[in-house]
Amino acid sequence: MGLRVVGLGPGDRLDMTGRVRLALAEAEIICGYDGYLELLAGLFPEKPRLGGGMGREVERCRSALGLAAEGRRVALVCGGDAGVYGMAGLVCQLAPEYPGVELEVAPGVPAAQAGAALLGAPLGHDFAGISLSDRLTPWPVIENRLRAAAAADFVLCLHNPASRARRDHLRRAAGVLLEILPPETLCGWARRIGRPGQSAGLLRLNELGDFPADMWTLVFVGARTTREIRGRMVTPRGYDLRGC
């Protein structure tokens, strides 16, 4: 018996890693948020599925652990990578309550990695990921992290930049960053990564506050060395190119 927590990648099944495919193939039942289960439409149609809506994450994890404790082979699916804003951490917190369950986290492709590939190479040097959702993290903590990361000259990947309930969070974040970073700082965005309607583009930090982001969007804020090269967002690693 065992539970595998897997990340499906940010988009369609092309983003799924081999280990995740194996975990799904070997599972007897697949659990997860309804939206992620929809991404598996047509794949393993014979397997029973246990879904649920947003806000019921703890219940879903307990259900998956409970099924595994009964002797079932269970896969709990997340988007992107299960350990990056996914369910792996929550499952690890709850796992001690189910001592007989063998737990494995199967790595997936993080949305930040896939979104960066659309833009070029913005994550070529040190970077930080920050979620702008204050559903689980107080907004003052988010502001502190934005200031600290900007002052440290990290490239930033901003997750959850906006939603129907949080329409102004990206604007507020841009205002915080403009306290530290130059207004011409190169930024990028990627929307619906790996899904129909996928798109990406570049803009400057002083334009970011007015950008119409949504929950399907990732936003990248460059470091001081980040620059545009033939339409791509690139953060150089620091190699000496002279004489090459």
> For 49-90, how does the pLDDT look when each residue is reduced to its tens digit (9 = 90+)?
999 888 889 999 999 999 999 999 999 999 899 999 999 999
Structural domain boundaries in the chain? 2-109, 112-234
Tell which residue, 83, 81, 68, 89, has the closest CA to residue 110.
Answer: 81
The pLDDT, as a whole number, for residue 181 is 98
Residue 16 scores a pLDDT above 90:
no
Residue 240 scores a pLDDT above 90:
no
The pLDDT, as a whole number, for residue 92 is 96
- Pairing, β 102-106 against β 2-7: parallel
CA atoms of 224 and 22, how far apart (whole Å): 41
Tell me the pLDDT band of 39, cut-offs 50, 70 and 90: confident
The pLDDT, as a whole number, for residue 12 is 65
> How many CB atoms sit inside 10 A of residue 171's CB?
15
3-state secondary structure at position 95: helix
Residue 244 scores a pLDDT above 60:
no
Continuous segment of H or E residues that includes residue 103: strand 102-106
The pLDDT, as a whole number, for residue 42 is 83
CA atoms of 183 and 208, how far apart (whole Å): 10
Q: Average model confidence (pLDDT) for the chain?
A: 93
- Residue 175: C-alpha distances to residues 50, 171, 172, 205, 207 (Å): 42, 6, 5, 9, 11
Q: Which amino acid is it at 70?
A: E
The per-residue pLDDT for range 140-177, each reduced to its tens digit, is 999 999 999 999 999 999 999 998 778 899 999 999 99
CB 13 within 8 A of CB 43: yes
The pLDDT, as a whole number, for residue 66 is 96
Tell which residue, 222, 203, 234, 199, has the closest CA to residue 121.
Answer: 234
Sheet (strand 217-221) strand order: 127-131, 155-159, 217-221, 186-191, 199-204
Question: For the whole model, what pTM was predicted?
Answer: 0.91
The angle that helices 169-178 and 139-151 make with each other, rounded to 10 degrees, is 40
3-state secondary structure at position 7: strand
Q: What is the largest CA-CA distance in the chain?
A: 64
The architecture in CATH of the region 112-234 reads 2-Layer Sandwich (3.30)
The pLDDT, as a whole number, for residue 175 is 97
Tell which residue, 88, 76, 79, 60, has the closest CA to residue 28.
Answer: 76
- The CA-CA-CA angle for residues 168, 173, 174, to 5°, reads 100
When the candidates are 2.40.420.20, 3.30.870.10, 3.40.1010.10, 3.90.1580.10, the CATH number that belongs to 2-109 is 3.40.1010.10
The pLDDT, as a whole number, for residue 89 is 96
CA atoms of 86 and 95, how far apart (whole Å): 15
